[in-house]
Amino acid sequence: MKKYDVVIIGASAAGAVAASTARKFYPDKSICVIREFEQVPIPCGIPYIYGTIGDPMKNLIPVGTMFPNQKIDSVIDIAESIDLEKKVVHGKNEDISYDRLILATGSLPIEPPIKGATLHNVFAIHKNTPYLTKLMEQVKVSQKIVIIGGGFIGVEMAEELKKNNPEHEVTIIEMQDRCLNLVYDKDFCDLAEKELIEQGIRILTQSRVMEIKGKEKVEGILLDNGDVIPADLVILGIGCKANNQLGKLANLKIGPTGGIVVDFYMQTSDPFVFACGDCAEKTSFFDKTPSSLRLASIATMEARVAGSNLFMQHRMNHGVVGCFSTALHGKAFASAGLTSDEAVRKGYQIVIGDAESVNRHPGLMPGSALMKVRLIFEKSEGIIVGGQIFGALSGGELINAISAFISKKMTADDIALFQAGTHPALTASPIAYQLVNAAESASVKLRSFAK
């Protein structure tokens, strides 16, 4: 039986980064990654397989070269159980012992208990290249595609499917009153839906799927209002859940959202076992309540915490902020922290600052486009709790600055006065810089409340 100082189960975003981090912090330790598949898809790139990229084999994490270059061993096997007492991972093909173990087993797509969900041509989004290839084969011979779920996966899949096959009839069915309702304010959601509709994508909101109809193969979707939407391919895009099976079998503590419970150092209820990424339980940065957020950006942050703390505590995870971005019809939609509604639900009194201008100066510079920035502050101390961006694609990077502002609990005045680098070919004018002006707008409102 092989023995390693560090064993990591999983080689997607969290597993790969945890392994690299462990190697940097502990250069003399032996490290092994156990992964189930030879090819590991890039999770965020999956929708783009069906449009922009065009091939599942072009959307892979390069683990085949990454691990050998870092002197990390890699084993392709299925980890079936863990013996915590003996510190052994029992694989389908071999057993491997460890001194420290990191679980990075990721998540599984939520497959609702809807009648007909097991019919042919009903697909969830599994992070499995052969499965994704099979879905691509079905896309090519389908005409009426229905996507259940209007979150990020749903809207991105819809746009990409329409991009390569404009003749396809693509319909999104969403239970909420708007697509992307959980991550954007209502007016931003309306803008996103407008971009989708302009591409010929049909959107049915406030609609509940009662049954997927068909004999052997899907034929239609029965809604709660009695309507039947014709379909020859159905994609389930309603979110994911923690892949906690190994943790459960080992009797590790499981949290209220189904993740493996970890402390601030990503340590589980067993002191020699860590967990990170989608399989780990999350807590909100804002109030330390359980959070169901599962994002690659969170996974890699947690992996850097876990990988660094294996033999000595170096870093802490202070909770998840949540930073999102997508591009629809050539426009960025990005969000960090709390939406306005979510902030109010958490008990904050809020002040909002908006600013909109072109992202170049003067506005006739190549690449110029309108960009709107919204910043959300809590009223008592003026600390930022959220932000959203719509418009120019450069907003996809600018939202990362807003996420940093939130994590450092900056105030409206802090942001209004920070020194931003600007250039005509790269940014908005320093006079019209959206981040600063949105913060200044909120700062003025905050002062009026203080009088």
Q: What percent of the chain has pLDDT over 90?
A: 94
Q: How many helices (H) and strands (E) does the chain have?
A: 11, 24
How far is Cα 155 from Cα 177, in angstroms, rounded to an integer? Answer: 15
Q: What percent of the chain has pLDDT over 70?
A: 100
294-337: pLDDT as tens digits: 999 999 999 999 999 999 999 999 999 999 999 999 999 999 99
Query: Whole-number mean pLDDT of the chain?
Result: 95
Helical spans, DSSP H, in 80-128: none
Q: Tell me, what's the pLDDT at 388?
A: 98
The CATH number given to 2-108+241-308 is: 3.50.50.60
Q: 111-238 has which fold?
A: FAD/NAD(P)-binding domain (3.50.50)
H or E stretch including 189? helix 186-198
362-412: pLDDT as tens digits: 988 998 999 999 999 999 999 999 999 999 999 999 999 999 999 999 999
CB 335, CB 415: distance < 8 Å:
no
Q: Tell me, what's the pLDDT at 450?
A: 66
Question: Which residues pair with residue 204 across a beta bridge?
Answer: 173
158-181: pLDDT as tens digits: 999 999 889 999 999 999 999 999
pLDDT tops 70 at residue 451 = no
Helix, strand, or coil (residue 309)? coil
Q: Tell me, what's the pLDDT at 98?
A: 98
The segment(s) of the chain belonging to CATH 3.30.390.30 are 323-446
Rounded average pLDDT over 411-424: 95
Q: Tell me, what's the pLDDT at 397?
A: 95
For domain 323-446, the CATH architecture is 2-Layer Sandwich (3.30)
202-223: pLDDT as tens digits: 999 999 999 999 999 999 999 9
C-alpha dist (Å) from residue 293 to 181, 218, 264, 284: 14, 31, 16, 9
> Can you say whether residue 226 is alpha, beta or left, with left for phi > 0 and alpha for psi between -120 and 50 degrees?
left
The segment(s) of the chain belonging to CATH 3.50.50.60 are 2-108+241-308, 111-238
